Structures are given as C-alpha cells and as structure tokens.
Amino acid sequence: MTEAKISFAGRLSLAIGSFFAILGDADLAAGVRRLRNGEAAAPAPQAPVPAAAPVAAPAPVAAPAPAPVAAIEEASPQSALQLLGLLQRNARFVDFVEEDIAGYNDADIGAAARLVHEGCRATLREHFTIRPVRSEAEGSRVTIAEGFDATAIRLTGNVVGSAPFNGTVSHRGWRVEDVKLPKLVKSHDAKVIAPAEVEL
C-alpha cells in the first residue's frame, strides 16, 4: 500500500522539525545518515531461543551485549512552525516561495531575493547562535583523526581505508549552539504562520 503524497507545506514543516530533532539527537542523526546513504537500518536485537533441555556444560562465556538500537522519535512541529512564522513575519519567506516567479525578469527576482535574504539572516541571528563546525578556512588541508564525529564531519570523494584521513575542507559546516525562540501561549495556533489581512 503506497502512502499519500505530502504537500509542500507538510514537507517543509517535516524538514524543519527534523532539522531541530537531528540537531538535538546524535543517534537520530546517525540513523538519518544511514538512510540517506542507502544503508540498511541497524538490526533490532534478536530474542534468545530457549534451550530444549538443561545440559551440563562448562561455565558459559559472557557474550558482548548487542548495541542498543536508536529509537526514532516523531519530531514536534511546533518549533518548526514557529520558525516558519518568524521567517514569514520578518522576511515574507512564504510569500516569496509561494509566488509564481516565471513571469518576472531576473532583476526583479534578484531585488526580491535580496530583501528575503536580509530578513532571513536577521531572523536567524536574532534567534539562533550559529558557529562553523570547523575553524579552518575552506580550501585548507586537514587531517581527520580516528574516532571523529560522523554527524559533524561528512567525508566525500574517494573515501577508502580507515582513519586518519587527509583532505581539503570544502565546507566548514554549521552548528547551532543556542536557540532563543519566543515562548508561545497555549491559545496560540502555531499552524497560522501569517494571519489573513483585511483592509477596512
């Protein structure tokens, strides 16, 4: 049975909610990375099969416990909807994305994109503290030691062998260090990211 297609707004809400969930959960990030790379999900531990009858045997050797399987939790859409509302209020982000721009020339689109960019940038800087994952400049040669954090560093290109790896920083990455979203009252409907305006 095929699942119903998710609307654009649904996909955007899911993407932003997943973004915050992945930032806060390293195990979830690793699971998502495995799925994006086409790898099978980590196998669930198998229940032991009881022996048919007790038989005298030498003392058992303790087997290593199976690694726990990361539980994938459903992300709450509230923070994602709140961020989308802030981007709409400060940058008219949804208006810009939902506009059919096929009939506009590149100069008009560029002018509108500049305003949206400024508003989005101001919103991110007001509500998030964002720092690069790597301090080196892009283009710098670096050595990635064994045991590196695979959620913070993605190896690309000809990845063979094992760490340490020598390579060039093609993107420094981004890490959110602090989130300062406004508190919401219980009566607030986060799904209304921009109220309709009626001029009298």
Where does the pLDDT of residue 30 fall: very low under 50, low under 70, confident under 90, or very high at 90 and above?
confident
Does the pLDDT of residue 11 top 70, yes or no? no
| Mean pLDDT, rounded, of the chain | 82
* 8 A C-beta contact, residue 41 and residue 31: yes
Mean pLDDT (whole number) for 28-40: 72
Inter-residue contact 169 to 140 (CB < 8 Å) = yes
Q: Are 153 and 173 contacting, i.e. CB atoms less than 8 angstroms apart?
A: yes
Of 23, 49, 56, 63, nearest to 175 by C-alpha is 23
Reported pTM? 0.57
State both tokens at 19.
């973004």
Token code pair at residue 184: 């919401």
pLDDT at residue number 61 = 58
Helical residues (DSSP H) of 128-187, grouped into ranges: none
